[in-house]
A and B are shown apart, each in its own frame.
Chain A
Amino acid sequence: KAGVTQTPRYLIKTRGQQVTLSCSPISGHRSVSWYQQTPGQGLQFLFEYFSETQRNKGNFPGRFSGRQFSNSRSEMNVSTLELGDSALYLCASSSGEVAPLHFGNGTRLAVT
């Protein structure tokens, strides 16, 4: 079974631009979560989608948004990029509420 796939692997953007990251979960997994990882803050929860609906949301500004498609693939969008948005963005899927998360390799975003 293929794992969680995130694209692109690396991204460089300029302040003020917007970016879209993509995540394909493990086949059969309907829950997709997004996390931001930075050296100082560790992993911070962004949001979780289940069956195309946002089920949980972390404490991030509205510039961070996401969506999930009918095939469970998910996208995360960040608008009006700031330098502080530079981070590793990790996507994880799971088969249910009591199941562990399975992570992708992440997208490294650099904002200059």
Chain B
Amino acid sequence: AQTVTQSQPEMSVQEAETVTLSCTYDTSESDYYLFWYKQPPSRQMILVIRQEAYKQQNATENRFSVNFQKAAKSFSLKISDSQLGDAAMYFCAYRRNTGNQFYFGTGTSLKVIP
């Protein structure tokens, strides 16, 4: 079974600084998708960024970028120029190439210090 591990339950970052959230996963498959979701206090999960495993280039969305290391099964999220609105729970998720079942990590709570 696929497992997703987020080893940092909590992280803090100073406003305008950069922070990296870690995620590792376990799979025997070669084709899959990886995601980072953000869950603010409003509870709604919001897609931050996605990465296709067959793409070597790391995905980027504005201030959010990933460091995808396929061999190491690592998928970290870098947030640049952190803003107060970035404070939330961040979940790493894995999805197989077929089927629509997502496997989520236990989340990292990010605090942004003004």
A residues at B contact (CB < 8 Å) = 3, 31, 33, 35, 41-43, 45, 48, 50, 55-56, 58, 88, 90, 92, 94, 97-98, 100-106, 108
CB-based contact A90/B45 at 8 Å: yes
- B contacts with A, residue count (CB < 8 A): 21
Instruction: Please name the 6 residue pairs, one residue from A and one from B, whose CB atoms are nearest each other, closest first.
Output: A103-B45, A43-B104, A42-B106, A56-B101, A105-B44, A100-B47
Enumerate B41-55 residues with CB–CB distance to A below 8 Å: 42-47, 50
**Residue from A50, A97, A102, A105 within 8 A of B47 (CB atoms):** A102
Number of A-B contacts (CB under 8 A): 55
CB-based contact B91/A43 at 8 Å: yes
B residues at A contact (CB < 8 Å) = 33, 35, 37, 42-47, 50, 91, 98-107
Q: Note all chain B residues with C-beta closer than 8 A to A45.
A: 101-103
Q: Note all chain A residues with C-beta closer than 8 A to B37.
A: 103
CB-based contact B99/A55 at 8 Å: yes
CB-based contact A105/B43 at 8 Å: yes
**Residue from B44, B100, B106 within 8 A of A94 (CB atoms):** B100
CB-based contact A56/B99 at 8 Å: yes
**Residue from B35, B44, B101 within 8 A of A106 (CB atoms):** B44
